[in-house]
Amino acid sequence: MPDRMTTEAQPMPNLVPGLIVGVGPNQPFIGEEIFNPVPVDGQDFWYDTFDNFALTDEGQTKRGLHANSKTLMPPSTSTVRGYAEEHSSKIPLDVNIIAAAEAADRNSSLRNGSMSRADRRRQAWMAKLVFNERIQREKEVATIVTDPSKYATGLKVTNLSYKTCTLKDLKDQIQALVARSGYTADTWAMDYLARAALDQNQNLLDLISGGATTTDPAIFKDEQLAALVGVKRLKVGNAFIQPKTVSGAIAASGTPIWACQNGTGFGAFLVTGDAATADETTMAFGKVFYPNVPSTGLRFGAWSWLDDEPNTLEWQKIAEYRLTAQTSQAGFLSENVTQ
């Protein structure tokens, strides 16, 4: 373990070897497949936003003839300032639990040099902290993607049913996005209800080889649907948040992170861009900006320290600096698609 801090003041984080883990409940997080994560140089930075500037016709240019030369200007609101705040969570390690784990270690030899019971306990709780941060990022992205106010007038509808629409209806939405923004959608994001509605769409099922017959039923794979409308990927948001329960019980219900704000079921055609080349200046509907946590060289920093909390042996903490932001209205939203 790293040096333990004896203050509640923000310490310079030290990486805890083996405790930055991606384990946790197996929920399908899609947020950062829709909003590309983009590293920035510091917490305070500048990034570009986009409108339909790519479609602006500035007229003919003729070299050397000033009367016919055009000065091309970016949109007046294209660059904004961002500040990546710290997102962190921590959990106390009870002195009695750790003492019991250490006593068990003393009473039985470790198998094949495996981690001690105390360190396994620390690792399990650190995994919980990591998972909680993933939930927060997912919520931030979903809040933007499902909000109709984030889409331009004319690029959002509440009267299209995914159960009965035609392929032309869907492609018309993509075409409207091209006409308004200059960019074509590359991602189709939706919730589980919308995806289930598409499985009932006879107009689309009939386009799948084999037809929808009793002996040779048509089925939709996500890849087939994406190819059908002409986008690179289809992503279904199906992560839930469950309330706390008593020990040994599971939640009676869960709250979906991805949910339609008007009606039931949503789908959105979005411009997301290439994650491998995304930076502060590339076109996208939205991005997650982040700098590395100081002294770790990593996006996440995790460490433990002591303080004077009653009955607490030490604290485990994970921190991340990020800003989740919309950078363009290049999207088309369909709400209430299960009608």
Q: For residues 160 and 337, is the Cβ–Cβ distance under 8 A?
A: yes
Angle between helix 117-145 and helix 95-107 axes, rounded to 10 deg: 140
SS3 255: strand
Question: For 28-41, what is each residue's pLDDT tens digit?
Answer: 899 999 999 999 99
Tell me: pLDDT of 12 over 50: no
Number of domains in the chain: 1
pLDDT greater at residue 223 or residue 332: 332
Q: For residues 61 and 27, is the Cβ–Cβ distance under 8 A?
A: no
Question: For 247-306, what is each residue's pLDDT tens digit?
Answer: 899 888 889 999 999 999 999 999 999 988 999 999 999 999 999 888 777 888 887 777
Note the Cα 317 to chain centre separation in Å. Answer: 22
Q: How many CB atoms lie within 10 A of CB 246?
A: 5
Q: What is the pLDDT of residue 23?
A: 45
Q: Where are the beta strands (DSSP E) in 68-225?
A: 79-83, 85-94, 156-157, 187-191
Question: For 86-143, what is each residue's pLDDT tens digit?
Answer: 999 999 988 898 889 888 888 876 665 677 888 888 878 888 888 888 899 999 999 9
| Mean pLDDT over the full length of the chain | 85
pLDDT greater at residue 236 or residue 67: 236
Q: For residues 322 and 139, is the Cβ–Cβ distance under 8 A?
A: no
Question: For 153-194, what is each residue's pLDDT tens digit?
Answer: 999 999 999 999 999 999 999 999 999 999 999 999 999 999
Q: What is the pLDDT of residue 13?
A: 45
Q: What is the pLDDT of residue 258?
A: 96
What's the length of the chain?
A: 339
Two structure tokens written together for 307: 């303080």
In a domain, 82, yes or no: no
Q: How confident is the model at residue 218 (pLDDT cuts 50, 70, 90)?
A: low
Question: For 302-326, what is each residue's pLDDT tens digit?
Answer: 877 777 788 888 888 888 999 999 9
Strand pairing of 255-256 and 240-241? antiparallel
| Structural domain containing residue 300 | 31-51+87-335
Question: 187: burial class by Cβ within 10 Å (0-12, 13-18, 19+)?
Answer: buried
Amino acid in position 121: R
Distance in angstroms (rounded) separating the CA atoms of residues 132 and 89: 8
In a domain, 213, yes or no: yes
Angle between helix 167-181 and helix 222-229 axes, rounded to 10 deg: 60
Two structure tokens written together for 86: 């710290």
In a domain, 17, yes or no: no
In a domain, 219, yes or no: yes
Tell me: pLDDT of 200 over 50: yes
Q: Domain containing 245 — which CATH number?
A: 3.90.1690.10
Q: What is the pLDDT of residue 24?
A: 52
In a domain, 67, yes or no: no
In a domain, 7, yes or no: no
pTM of the model: 0.86
